[in-house]
Amino acid sequence: MKGKIPKSLSKFLSRNVIEKEVQETIAVADKRLGKALTEELGLECKQNEQIEELMRVIRFNIGGLLNRIYLVT
């Protein structure tokens, strides 16, 4: 992402976080994206080793997770 906020992400966050005044910290895998979200949208972001590991686990297991969701619905 190279520190740029995609238009679709900006729109999603504006509608679902900023407009609803959600006061949570957003976990990001890309440090530059987190910095851009903080500077441009005023959102609190966090990036560290634990978040990197969580993202790796999600990427590794996404196929199985989505299959389970599909089978349930």
Q: Which regions in the chain score pLDDT beneath 50?
A: none
pLDDT given at position 20:
94
- The pTM is what? 0.77
Query: Would you say the C-alpha torsion 26, 35, 66, 70 has a positive or negative sign?
Result: positive
Closest CA to 35 of 66, 57, 60, 3: 3
pLDDT at 44: 96
